[in-house]
Structure 1
Amino acid sequence: MEAIRNVAIAGASGALGSPIFEALLKSGHFNVTVLTRHSSEAKFPDSVKVIRVDYTSVPELTEALAGQHAVVSVLTTSAMETQIPLIEASVKAGVRRFLPSEFCANIGNPKAGSLPVYHSKVQLHDVVRQKAAENPNFTYSLIRNGPFLDWSLAFGFFINLKGGETPLYDGGDRPFSTTTLATIGQAVVEVLRHPDETKNRAVFVQDLVTTQNEMLAIAQKVKPEITWTTKNVSTAEMEDMAQQKYASGSMDLVASVGFFCRSVYAEGYGGEFKEVDNDLLGIPLKSKADLEVLIKDVLENAN
């Protein structure tokens, strides 16, 4: 496949979109165009081309994507359905590589993929695979990275930052893969730089594999003045709760977190990636010392 040079990104101002956008710019390998809603107030550098679009309009999107080699979608989970017109427009515009807004757990694992919180992503896979099968010049890559390491630390997803009671999911000893936002941005860059090797498949990346108990031990080491107590929480019970909420139409954050925890911490859900593409992408793994620095920084900013 010819080198990818022109890249359009949708969702460039979000929590994950911003570091991906920055990585694309800083790499120096791409001409980056930002797609944004007509109503968006997000600001971007004057040097970057910004095209305001209606994500429901295939003709408008097709015009916006003229000349683009790749599209990176970092649209939020609540906007998953808007990617369908974006995919259709990408095909019509001759885009060669599409990266849907995946960036999550290993939802190729049947157990994880069956969780309702991931259904929209799985359905999108069906669409993008079908389009690739029907249009040989259109290809895709699915990036899977586990929970966002720095973001999840800062929001207390792994441990309670302020001390006191902290939940240990299924005992807290289940290893899981996790990746910082910056590394995910670098992964996007390298996937686009390796179009043949990453064609029409899932690409796995991680900074490290750890456990909740390991993180808690590091937190206790770097902040001995904070006292933590632990409470075992069953991810099976969390999934049951989340299923009931979804069934009643209450698709709130509590329910979503129940499903997320199941996919990350439960046995058999693929939370620890068995094979990763770090070597292909030239992305080194982080050390336990690096993890300690991250945890120390987050704890110092939180307390």
Structure 2
Amino acid sequence: MTANYAKDQPDGFTNRIEKIAIVGAGGQIGSVLTEHLLKSGKHTLTAITRPSSTKKLPEGLQVARVNYSGDDDTELVEVLRGQQVLIISMSVHAPRDSVSKLVRAAAKAGVSYILPNWFGHDAANDALCEDSMLKASRDSITSEIESLGASSYILLVCNFWYEFSLGGGPDRFGFDFNKRTFVELGDGTVPIRTSTWPQCGRAVAALLSLKEFPDDGADMSPTLSQFRNGCVYVSSFRLAQRDMFESVKRVTGTADADWTVTRESAEERWGQGRAALQEGNWKLFTKMLYSRMFFPHGDGDYKGELHNDLLGLPVEDLDEATAVGVRMGESGEVPFSH
């Protein structure tokens, strides 16, 4: 790609992101991203929401109520015009073509960057994405953005959300806190990367606070443009299930004897899930997805450069994050997948 420098931009160029639009600002990850973007105080943030939406949105947001699922995107394009970044953080249950419609409207409006509803798996790991049944979605999103030629995508690689997954039942990280059961995959020692919701929020806010381009050829400082059509890698913890279990016992004041621990093969669990999905039983999707990350050859521990330091992300306290996950699990805040 031809180098772009701030010094070569037209008059009036400020070399920073000033205007951001977000779809899904009231959702699980969207609300966290919105909170940290507002906290940075560096952007004008517009929440694009459906006219019928009743979700409460935080103070400090501009709100544009638009029917973005229809075939006529005139109003949506007008709302997006002048925005530099579009963040899409929609529910997995949203209509399949929703992201595509937003991407096409963003291209028409000249939005430079899109974070397109990818907050998790290492998108550069083809085998992991293929086995997790995410490759087709990844390719559809990224190829459409590239083909339209107006925007660049940036994918946040954070792996599974820690507190959400810890409290999300035995099909995720293996824990049922109300029943005090724990499903250990393999011998429980395969390390993976995992990120808390606040760390993801801090990462996106820091990313979009970077200058857009280097000032000139001598400027080696980090920029947003260096992540064009690629991934940003962040993490809160690198740990195995046994590390999680030790933290859980510290937080809950329990011992091994208080728990019923069973062991399963990650490969067999994944295979059973894939077979069920091929027969149309999507109830096992979560079990399949999580089991694949714990394969012993290390796909859950990304090999690419970690960008925590570049983004100035803090070192987090594991037991504090675990306490949040335990609370979420005990209160049923995360629906189990079955």
Tell me the TM-score normalised to structure 2 length.
0.80
Residue of structure 2 aligned with 1:185, choices 187, 197, 201: 201
- 1:86 CA displacement: 0.7
State how far apart, in whole Å, the 2-side matches of 1:270 and 1:126 are. Answer: 24
Which residue does 1:64 correspond to in 2?
79
Q: Which amino acid is 2:93 matched to?
A: S
CA contact (8 A) 2:155 2:230 kept: yes
CA contact (8 A) 1:38 1:54 kept: yes
Which residue does 2:300 correspond to in 1?
271
1:4 to 2:4 alignment: no
In structure 1, runs of 5+ residues without a counterpart are none
CA contact (8 A) 1:111 1:269 kept: no
Q: Percent identity?
A: 27
Q: Which amino acid is 1:276 matched to?
A: L
Q: Which amino acid is 1:277 matched to?
A: H
Which residue does 1:230 correspond to in 2?
261
Map residues 156-167 of structure 1 onto 2, 5 A cutoff.
156=169, 157-158=172-173, 159-162=175-178, 164-167=180-183
State how far apart, in whole Å, the 1-side matches of 2:107 and 2:293 are. Answer: 34
1:20 to 2:50 alignment: no
State how far apart, in whole Å, the 1-side matches of 2:156 and 2:198 are. Answer: 14
Higher gyration radius (CA): 2
- 1:251 CA displacement: 1.9
Distance 1:222 1:26, change over 3 A: closer
Look up the SS of the partner of 1:35 in the other structure. Answer: strand
Look up the SS of the partner of 1:13 in the other structure. Answer: coil
CA contact (8 A) 1:206 1:276 kept: yes
CA contact (8 A) 1:177 1:207 kept: yes
State how far apart, in whole Å, the 1-side matches of 2:319 and 2:59 are. Answer: 38
Which residue does 1:295 correspond to in 2?
322
State how far apart, in whole Å, the 1-side matches of 2:292 and 2:100 are. Answer: 25
CA contact (8 A) 2:156 2:231 kept: yes
Q: CA RMSD in A?
A: 2.1
State how far apart, in whole Å, the 2-side matches of 1:300 and 1:260 are. Answer: 23
State how far apart, in whole Å, the 1-side matches of 2:326 and 2:129 are. Answer: 33
What stretches of structure 1 move > 6 A for 4+ residues in a row?
none
Distance 1:15 1:143, change over 3 A: same
Look up the SS of the partner of 2:267 in the other structure. Answer: helix
Deviation sequence 1:185-217 (CA, Å, 0-9, x none): 111112212312322211110011011001112
State how far apart, in whole Å, the 2-side matches of 1:124 and 1:170 are. Answer: 34
Q: Which amino acid is 1:217 matched to?
A: E
1:128 to 2:141 alignment: no
Residue of structure 2 aligned with 1:208, choices 222, 237, 245: 237
CA contact (8 A) 1:113 1:122 kept: no
Distance 1:66 1:245, change over 3 A: same
In structure 2, runs of 5+ residues without a counterpart are 1-5, 7-14, 211-223, 332-338
State how far apart, in whole Å, the 2-side matches of 1:22 and 1:294 are. Answer: 18
Look up the SS of the partner of 2:76 in the other structure. Answer: helix
CA contact (8 A) 2:238 2:301 kept: yes
